[in-house]
Chain A
Amino acid sequence: MVKVVFIEHDGNSHEVNAYAGESLMEAAVSNNVPGIDADCGGNCACATCHVFINPEWISKVGERREMESSMLEFSENLKPTSRLACQIEVSEELDGLIVELPEAQY
């Protein structure tokens, strides 16, 4: 079990137990975290699982790839810490990860 905290735009936080090997998006959706739409089902093709990675965790989570950047570019809320949750694989190393959610998913 890997503990992940999702913090909504209004400050509401949700601590979930994620599994190593699943994506951060899947962990959010299966635990009913509001604010992750995930319309494309995890194909890096819709940018509706946009999250901001807590700066302390960026090095462990890793950089976004090219297609992910192309999709995120159209988001109203793009930040340097923006990632698509479907492109982040949960691992033991991410135990305690904190991510924030944008005001709206484009």
Chain B
Amino acid sequence: MKEKTDVEEKNVIPDPWSLPLETLDVSKAEIFQSNQHGEYFRRLRQESPVHFCQESQFGPFWSITKFNDIVAIDSDHKRFSSDTNIVIGDAQPELVTPMFIAMDEPKHGVQRKTVQPAVAPTQLSELEVLIRQRVGYILDSLPVNEEFNWVELVSKEITTQMLATLFDIPFEDRHLLPYWSDVATTSETVGIEVDMNERQRVLEECLAYFSKLWHERAAEPRKFDFISLFAHGEETKDMINDPMEFLGNLILLIVGGNDTTRNSISAGVVELNRNPKEYDKLKSDPSLIPNMVSEIIRYQTPLGHMRRTALEDVEFKGHTIHKGDKVVMWYVSGNRDEEVIENPDAFIIDRNKARHHLSFGFGIHRCMGNRVGEMQLRILWEEILKRFDRIELTGEPERVLSNFVMGYSKVPVVVHKK
């Protein structure tokens, strides 16, 4: 019994208002898993919007928590670098996998532009019919009047199928993608204790899988999947000779396509159940879906932060950020900034200016796949409303342990047919 009490005590998250402001440490993954980060950030926004935390498991770091301050830092890529590390924790040097999200210009722009055609609007409109068919099939296969985990059968499955198409890997291999995605995001650098060497071993399997695919694609004419675009890109065709950089970009595209939309799909069900009036609004007016999609993405903020490193001393809002300092932009806080977003803690599907949120980041590193994510959510809710009277949340959702991924591992539901 005593042991259990100790564990419980360890897991109690202190009230942020009871702690000394200067030692307030928002990098602890447990705060997010227990969904108690909201008050921590409320205090920072009110009392110390540009906050320096001297000691944490990741060393000292700045927290930027107000919407407009985040836009300013995110847009200032010449002074706030993305080079090598874009989450709070630094990767061990021997495990660094370069990827274009964690590069500065000009290399970032070159690599991004090479693969971006895979998710450009014209390419996506061609994929829409296929995605709608698959979403319909997934929904029609769900157990009826029986509890199941929405995350496993819907959120993961839809995003996995989409991503398998964007990589053009065999359909039957698709479950490797969320597996590798989860392994990649389960890292010490975002506050999770894990065997980093075992993690690396699994990621090397991922590298081997895609290296084989690269050679096949390089020998065939160019087409619009990520691997073919890289293999035929003038500036990227030798990336295969730098396995760590190839692996880094694979992780970027796999995680970017998995953990983000997956958690927005789960969050939609959770928030519509917590806000039954909003669910009623949606059912009586399905034309609200595109606006609701933006509101879900704001409200959930699937990636809680991005981090930059100051390249020079910068005076910012009365503080001196020194060269080399870590600067963490808390999107999950800026999206609840009452000075920019009216009634920000409320989930309102017909919210005015719902697109004005931070979840995709701003500036040159802004999310490349934002339209893919929005499209999947829009199609999903259009197809849900055709089939179901209600997706009923039947238990408390379980959140993942991370200061980076704001996600759900379990969302128990029962679906009720129309």
Same assembly: yes
A residues sitting closer than 8 Å to B (CB atoms) are 37-41, 43-48, 67, 70-71, 73-74, 76, 103-104, 106
How far apart are the CA atoms of A38 and B352 in the complex, in Å? 13
Give 19 new A-B contacts, CB below 8 A, not counting A39-B355, A106-B120. A37-B355, A41-B353, A41-B356, A43-B75, A43-B362, A44-B75, A45-B74, A45-B362, A45-B366, A46-B360, A46-B362, A70-B105, A70-B364, A73-B113, A74-B364, A76-B116, A76-B121, A106-B121, A106-B371
Give the shortest distance, in Å, between B229 (CB) and chain A (any CB): 13
How far apart are the CA atoms of A47 and B120 in the complex, in Å? 14
Residue B38 lies at the interface, judged by CB distance under 8 Å to chain A: no
Interface residues as binary, B360-378 with A (CB distance below 8 Å gives 1, 0 otherwise): 1011101010010000000
| Contact between chains at B121 and A103 (CB < 8 Å) | yes
Nearest-CB residue, chain B, relative to A37: B355
Within B43-78, which residues are at the interface with A (CB < 8 Å)? 71, 74-75, 77
What are the residues of chain A within 8 A of B113 when measuring CB–CB?
73-74
Give which listed residue, A38, A45, A48, A73, contacts B75 with CB less than 8 A.
A45
How far apart are the CA atoms of A96 and B121 in the complex, in Å? 30
| Contact between chains at B362 and A103 (CB < 8 Å) | no
Interface residues as binary, B105-143 with A (CB distance below 8 Å gives 1, 0 otherwise): 100010011001100111000000000000000000000
| Contact between chains at A45 and B71 (CB < 8 Å) | yes
Give which listed residue, B71, B75, B120, contacts A76 with CB less than 8 A.
B120
| Contact between chains at B371 and A45 (CB < 8 Å) | no
| Contact between chains at A76 and B356 (CB < 8 Å) | no
What are the residues of chain B within 8 A of A38 when measuring CB–CB?
355
How far apart are the CA atoms of A36 and B156 in the complex, in Å? 32
Query: Which of B122, B356, B371 is the most central at the interface, judged by chain A CB atoms within 10 Å of its CB?
Result: B356
